[in-house]
Amino acid sequence: MKVLTFGIAKDIVGGPQMDLPYIEGMTVLILKKAVLEAYPQFEKLNSLAIAVNNEYAEDDLRIKPQDEVVLIPPVSGG
């Protein structure tokens, strides 16, 4: 499954998206664990949110193969 990345997440991954294997019954929490396993640098961030179909997603949300999934790194600004 394709996961879109922005900001520091894009820098960590080395591009605008990453490909991860889809697991039947995948939840946001399972996805987060897969991201951390593939890219341990994400553990250094103070937050990492996931959006599914343009909405922030809770850890127990089930992801479908056709969903648009985006990693949202910490945002700063003023």
13-29 confidence digits (pLDDT tens): 999 999 999 999 999 99
Domain ranges of the chain: 2-72
Per-residue model confidence (pLDDT) at position 74 = 80
Q: For the purposes of burial, counting CB atoms within 10 Å of the CB of 49, is it exposed (0-12), middle (13-18) or buried (19 or more)?
A: middle
Per-residue model confidence (pLDDT) at position 24 = 94
Give the global pTM. 0.88
Phi, psi (rounded to 5 degrees) for 3: -125, 120
Per-residue model confidence (pLDDT) at position 77 = 54
Radius of gyration of the chain (CA): 12
User: Which class is domain 2-72?
Assistant: alpha beta
25-75 confidence digits (pLDDT tens): 999 999 999 999 999 999 999 888 999 999 999 999 999 999 999 999 887
